[in-house]
Structure 1
Amino acid sequence: MTTTIENPTTPEASVADAPVPPPTPTRRKLVIICSKGNLDMAYPGLILGTAALGEGIETHLFFTFWGLDMITRERMDDLKFTPLGNTAMHLVQAPRMPIPALAGAIPGMTGMATKMMRKQIADLEIPTVPELLEQVVEMGGHLWACRMSFDMMNLTEADLFDGVEAVISATDFMEISEGGQVIFV
């Protein structure tokens, strides 16, 4: 049996012919936990954050432990890249002659590796950490500092990048991250 709908222009139209409304879009949410303050660990979270915002995804970045260095005015522009113990370190490898990650213990290696990485970043015209933080905020992203880490490091709100919305507890973070995809960097 076919159910019909009354339509002044068509005497009988089946329900199957009725227009189907588009599905209601679900609001996506991405929450990125930034826990490391090294130069090479700052970029993944910030790049993912700006990419998500560019796709219209609600985005929150939560900075905890050494990740607070990324949003601390005094440190955010001077993050280091440490090759010591980094088994994936390719910057100091010669062809067919990998130099062990222990080479990072040589005095001056952190400075040299940081300089090399900063040059690569600049050559690729990738924004600096402070510039990416500004982009996140300008695009509507949310920056949060971890209360426990903030207190452990004896920071004040004046120490933080202006775009940080608040210093929040782990419980507050659980509320914010509800229903979101969580990425830990």
Structure 2
Amino acid sequence: MLEQLKTERLILRPMGESDVERLAELANNWDVARMLTRMPFPYTRAMARDWIARQATDRAEGAEFVYAITHEDGFIGTCGVQAHADGTNEIGYWVGEPFWNKGYATEATHAVLNEAAARFGAGTLISGHFADNHASGRVLTKLGFRYTGEEKRWSLARNEHVHALRMVLKQEAKVGRNAA
């Protein structure tokens, strides 16, 4: 069962039907979608509904757990971890454009990293960002991720392979702001 996580300003909880409208509204933004690998654009309510339904299945199978990031303004984005067959776990996140540059992505991701450590124990967490998404690079660096290389990753919204930077965090490393 996915538990609720609380931070200083946020509540992270399982996704639900009540998130469909706001998810569709915030995700249907080119500046959000183009920075993500798996988000289509345009983004519809039907897509939001289907994606939320898949999260319950993925969670039950242990393949992925995704939290709705909520604030006093309601739903503002998502953050989750996907388990890979090679034993690594990949963290991903996004927040809607009205909530950028407020530290919400860092705060939510920090909470989910700690939850991943509790769930999965020692191991490697991977993440990354498109090379033109400097803000995401700052979030991950603050949390202790280090660059490991470059690759081309498919962007569903852009409909092309995009230059991306890979990052890694060893689970035994301190998880926190400015971790060394």
TM-score of the pair, normalised by structure 1 = 0.27
Q: Which has the larger radius of gyration?
A: 1
Higher strand share: 2
Higher helix share: 1
